[in-house]
Chains A and B, each alone.
Chain A
């Protein structure tokens, strides 16, 4: 069966510090991968998605970047965090080759607090 992992679960970082959040998927090959941010009590904002290694699409221009160095690894990064980067970050995957927006499976999330 497929599983998705995210770490760390919680992170407190000072403004201006770098960020690296990692997401890995097991049990599937060539998944579509997604990074979302959720502000408190709000819906999900899609940040990045990837349909393959090295293929990243950015949805919102901002202080963050994403990379996919391996088939089942998706990394969210920042060189200098801003206060507004605080939030709940969720990684998700969906089956490959699905042009119709099929079911997405979410990781447990990382809660980031920038102080």
Chain B
């Protein structure tokens, strides 16, 4: 299957710094989403950006989408130790992939207090 690719695979920062994670994909998409997973838990939806949008904000989160480059980035500003988690991008490719999301491999973020 056409999985999304994320980089970096792991990111370690100090509290208060910004964290940027990137996601690339290979098909045309309807939307792209970002999820967060704390260790051993289910995923929590963070933000959805549609293919006709270029930037979206939610609290300390900023997501950008560049459909010409087939890439997206998630920026977490003023990070906190509680932001430590794995972050996944997921996209819906539309067409016959009704309702289905393809997930990237994730970025493990560690925020040191």
**Does the CB pair A46–B101 fall under 8 Å?**
yes
Residues of A within 8 A of B (CB): 32, 34, 36, 41-46, 49, 51, 59, 88, 90, 92, 94, 98-109, 111
**Does the CB pair B31–A101 fall under 8 Å?**
yes
Q: Interface segment, B14-22, B43-51, B53-61, B75-83?
A: B43-51
Q: Smallest distance from the beta carbon of B76 to chain A beta carbons, Å?
A: 19
Q: Smallest distance from the beta carbon of B104 to chain A beta carbons, Å?
A: 6
Selected from B1, B44, B48, the residue in CB contact (under 8 A) with A59 is B1
- Compute how far the CA of A59 lies from the CA of B33 in the bound complex, rounded to whole angstroms: 20
Q: Smallest distance from the beta carbon of A92 to chain B beta carbons, Å?
A: 8
A44-B99 contact given A100-B30, A103-B45, CB 8 Å threshold: no
Collect the chain A residues with CB atoms within 8 Å of residue B102's CB.
46
Closest to B108 in A: A41
